[in-house]
Structure 1
Amino acid sequence: MTTAVVLGVDIGTSSSKGVLVDLTGRVLRSRVREHRVQRPRPGWVEMDGQVWWAEFVALARDLLAPGDAHVVSVGVSGMGPCVLLTDAAGTPLRPAILYGVDTRSTPQIARLTARLGADEILRRCGSALSTQAAGAKVAWVADAEPELFARARRLFMPSSWLVFKLTGQYLLDQHSASQCTPLYDSVEQRWHRPWADEIAPGLELPELRWPGEVAGGITGEAAEVTGLAPGTPVVTGTIDAWSEALSVGAHRVGDLMLMYGTTMFLLHTVPHPLTSPSLWGTVGALPGTRNLAGGMATSGAVTGWLRELFGAEDYPELLRLAERSGPGARGLLMLPYFAGERTPLLDPDARGVIAGLTLSHGRGDIYRAALEATGLGARHNIETIEAAGGDIRRVVAVGGGTQGALWTQIVSDITGLAQHVPSVTIGASYGAAFLAAAVVQRVDIDRWNPIAEVREPRPEFAADYDELYQLYRQLYAASSSVAHALAARQARLAIPPQPAITEPVEEVNP
């Protein structure tokens, strides 16, 4: 006897994840395939879009192999906003340019801001132009690779690319479009043709749908390679952070989602559009919702880098050492700007700093400083959200970094905010599965994924972390000119590309 299930797949920065979930929300099986992005030059972060499809196929076949489940709907999500340009037939013309961690579009940001006007961009689009903006990345391709761009006809992101490969439909969700600044009008919730025609002439912009709307059915060709039944409905996906928020029910006014992943993401739901030059004002994942969002360029990326650097066997070993180090990491302070910084600094040339090092410090102290750096960066973003008019009433944590108590406890201690941790913190793939289930039957996410525990801030550490936070803010101001000079030196160096990794693994931790 087979069980009716939904399939959710998310294409992330460091891995792709797939889950089979029954219609009560129970995860039956999960699978992960790791990969690496390519960094062909300083400030460039790319990935071959064909890897996204290959990993979806592999995940689907792995999850369906036992033959005891019948997939009734498919949901997808992915990192973003990304820019994958293809020809009219949907063949990629170059590797995809990833979201705000790719900082190559700085000249286009400056030119378009001067040309269109900073205030008008913010009013119409909800966000200032930054390295997060997909429209500026499209402009970079038009400027730097004009012959290639002349052949470009379609624009994809990971979730829309999977929908295209599965159904043949060329579309993009409204939320992802709202991060295509300045091509999209966030007020009217449609493409802004005057700017789109100027910046991306010849590009056929996709039809817009809401996340969760049925995009189409599995084609015969896709069914043959994936093992999914022809005609199975595929729902329109969205960017991973918004899918993660849906996976934990953090989409109500006043909610703030903290996503612990390769990067740290903050997503606040607001009753009406709010804008800030230091944050991203976007259309929400559900009709009628609006968000004010922020994102750090690194978080889990730094902890993963340290694990590799230290040659540690596993994360629990480093977490034990970090807990032993104690609050304040025995006098260390880290700026986590190892890939520049997104909000609220919007500084692609910021760089990582570890201050206070002595010969007495060890791995646990440095690792603790990295965890605290995420908390300090989160506090900076939270203060900026509140200064812009945000009203944070509940914080929900999600992502791999919620496994184990230490990281979330540190962030609660630094921010002074309690965090609600749900039963399932898999994240975006589970959110994609939730959207897929919602087209089959009525689904209540609070029943699917109830809150399992609440991480309360410990008041005895508040004063120490207040002092550390002030030092954190001062350290960036004091070191930024040196960091920018070093970034300029790095820009003159060549960084060899890194190979992709597609070997399956059981689990990825922060």
Structure 2
Amino acid sequence: MFLGIDIGTGSSKGVLVSRDGRILDRETVEHTVSTPQPGWYEFDAELVWWAEIQQLSKALLARSTEPLEGVCVSGMGPCLVVTDEAFRPLRPAILYGVDSRAGQEIGELNQEIGAQSIFERCGKQLSTQSVGPKIRWLAHHQPEVFAATRHIFSLNSFIVAKLTGEYIQDHHTASQSDPLYDLHSNDWIPENWATIAGDIPRPRLVWPTEIVGKVTAKAAALTGIPAGTPVVAGTVDAWAEAFSAGVRQPGDTMLMYGSTLFVVQMLAGYQAHEKLWTTTGVDRETLSLAAGTSTSGTLTSWLRQLFGNPSFEKLITEASAIPAGSNGLLLLPYFAGERTPIFDAEARGTIIGLTTAHQRGHLFRAGYEGIAFGARQIMDFLAQSAERPQRLVAVGGGTQSALWTQIVSDVTGYPQEVPAETIGASYGDALMAAIGTGSVEVGTDWAEISHTVRPNPEHQEIYAELYQAFSALYPATKETMHQLTRLQK
């Protein structure tokens, strides 16, 4: 059997899977992100991430007598984890694009290296998703930490180091660590690394399905994973989830309903778009186009909390009774700034069209619709950059809401295939472990489709009109948003 663990924004999930893809056991641990300042999103890599790896591994393996053939871990990313020589974190980990602290550093690096050069070599513009500006932020604001740093990790590579003692970075995560990685040579850019990270050693590059080491005796004592068990590199959770859903061929596209909304489209060859991210894939020498919003499930959870924490089932029932378009209510889902498609860390959430006739069901549905309009913008960009996505697969916890997936299909015009197994990235991790250890063939795909969500043509006209209003609203309110953001700071 194979152990896959994914560490997400709201929880960590572990799963044991057999060679034929059957889930033998699963375990979940919930956690809460730390937000010490507006725009900062952090986790304690040692006391949360590494501790949960130990907790999940012990719980799962204690209930099983089957031999363990391999381990793989994925996680939210790209994150910035800096450690000393002994892999001890020197500060809390800085999260992916939801953390917007490095806006000034983005501008600096665009000036120093050249925005066009970055786009041509890295396949995307610098944004809050980029790791390089966060390293520069560390050098500016916490120079004593930067000076003591001997290793730069993301989430999965930090866990690999704790398990094996190896200092690695998988190619996919590296390809999101802009402007440090060249997509054309599949290697670090030495001059950019030196400009940003100085003399901190560069990690060894590996592909996500490669075995990078074996579990040490020390790690075995802490996790319950037998010493000597092969460890596969793993990668960022969204790509592990795409892998789990069988999104591996050119034109295959994943739409992940998680804490944020994430889209991954596999490419036949190199393509780049200024509003999207070109990255490597999970399989060796593959490429993908990607996009990610800053809120999705976090927004629906915020609305639920705002309404006094009724069950999601009750809110979905109320929203289902509201007609498409929420009776003229429109929501911009920029409650944590926005990544794709506007790349504006100072954008803010907007609700417009409110009347005293609107109830919480209207607001909750408008939240779903606002996220769906953002998804449509991303899908339009994908079609402009490469080709219209040929097959859309919906994954993530949000797929449990039939209303949400229906609204997204109605707004975008795309059918969505929903896999039978929805545990997600940890399932993809187990598949990577199986492939990496040679226990199954490289092309093995465990995904089975449960059902397909098809667009409702009756909603096409109202959503087309509202989409035009949605697209015009941000440019019309951008300056006011930025003014309010300054007041919030």
Partner of 2:474: 476
Partner of 1:29: 25
1:460 aligns with 2:458: yes
- Name the TM-score, length of structure 2 as normaliser: 0.97
Partner of 1:287: 284
- Counterpart amino acid of residue 23 in structure 1: R
The 1-side partners of 2:170 and 2:89 are apart by 20
Asked whether the equivalents of residues 61 and 224 of structure 2 are also in contact (C-alpha less than 8 Å), the reply is: yes
CA apart distance, 1:288: 2.2
Q: How does 1:341-360 map to 2 (within 5 A)?
A: 341-360=338-357
Asked whether the equivalents of residues 109 and 129 of structure 1 are also in contact (C-alpha less than 8 Å), the reply is: yes
- Counterpart amino acid of residue 20 in structure 1: L
Partner of 1:227: 224
Q: How does 1:318-337 map to 2 (within 5 A)?
A: 318-337=315-334
Structure 1: segments with no counterpart, 5+ residues: 492-510
Partner of 1:144: 141
Partner of 1:157: 154
The 1-side partners of 2:173 and 2:149 are apart by 19
- Counterpart amino acid of residue 485 in structure 1: Q
Q: Percent identity?
A: 48
Q: How does 1:368-407 map to 2 (within 5 A)?
A: 368-407=365-404
Question: What secondary structure is seen at the aligned counterpart in 1 of 2:39?
Answer: coil
1:61 aligns with 2:66: no
1:247 aligns with 2:241: no
Match of residue 109, structure 1, among 100, 106, 110: 106
Asked whether the equivalents of residues 183 and 280 of structure 2 are also in contact (C-alpha less than 8 Å), the reply is: yes
Partner of 1:47: 43
* Greater alpha carbon shift after TM alignment, 68-77 vs 371-380: 68-77
- Counterpart amino acid of residue 296 in structure 2: S
Q: Deviations over 1:29-88 (max 9, x none)?
A: 221111111111111111111110001111111212223333221111000011011112
Asked whether the equivalents of residues 76 and 96 of structure 2 are also in contact (C-alpha less than 8 Å), the reply is: yes
Partner of 1:307: 304
What is the CA RMSD across the aligned residues, in angstroms? 1.3
Question: What secondary structure is seen at the aligned counterpart in 1 of 2:67?
Answer: strand
1:215 aligns with 2:223: no
Match of residue 9, structure 1, among 5, 12, 26: 5
Match of residue 192, structure 2, among 186, 190, 195: 195
CA apart distance, 1:28: 2.0
- Counterpart amino acid of residue 10 in structure 2: S
Asked whether the equivalents of residues 246 and 446 of structure 2 are also in contact (C-alpha less than 8 Å), the reply is: no
Structure 2: segments with no counterpart, 5+ residues: none
Instruction: Name the structure, 1 or 2, with higher relative contact order (CA <8 Å, separation 6+).
Output: 1
Match of residue 77, structure 1, among 66, 74, 77: 74
CA apart distance, 1:445: 7.3
- Name the TM-score, length of structure 1 as normaliser: 0.93
Asked whether the equivalents of residues 246 and 445 of structure 2 are also in contact (C-alpha less than 8 Å), the reply is: no
Asked whether the equivalents of residues 247 and 254 of structure 2 are also in contact (C-alpha less than 8 Å), the reply is: yes
CA apart distance, 1:145: 1.2
CA apart distance, 1:339: 0.4
CA apart distance, 1:314: 2.3
CA apart distance, 1:446: 7.1
Q: Deviations over 1:312-369 (max 9, x none)?
A: 3421111111111131112211100010000110000010011111222222111111
CA apart distance, 1:222: 1.0
CA apart distance, 1:474: 1.3
The 1-side partners of 2:297 and 2:126 are apart by 25
The 2-side partners of 1:204 and 1:194 are apart by 13
Asked whether the equivalents of residues 398 and 404 of structure 2 are also in contact (C-alpha less than 8 Å), the reply is: yes
The 2-side partners of 1:347 and 1:290 are apart by 26
Question: What secondary structure is seen at the aligned counterpart in 2 of 1:228?
Answer: coil
The 2-side partners of 1:191 and 1:430 are apart by 29
The 2-side partners of 1:218 and 1:388 are apart by 42
CA apart distance, 1:481: 1.0
Asked whether the equivalents of residues 268 and 390 of structure 1 are also in contact (C-alpha less than 8 Å), the reply is: no
- Counterpart amino acid of residue 461 in structure 1: H
Partner of 1:180: 177
Q: Deviations over 1:159-191 (max 9, x none)?
A: 111111111111010000011111111111111
CA apart distance, 1:444: 7.7
Asked whether the equivalents of residues 249 and 446 of structure 1 are also in contact (C-alpha less than 8 Å), the reply is: no
CA apart distance, 1:390: 3.3
Question: What secondary structure is seen at the aligned counterpart in 2 of 1:31?
Answer: strand
Q: How many residues align?
A: 487
Q: How does 1:270-281 map to 2 (within 5 A)?
A: 270-281=267-278
- Counterpart amino acid of residue 167 in structure 1: T
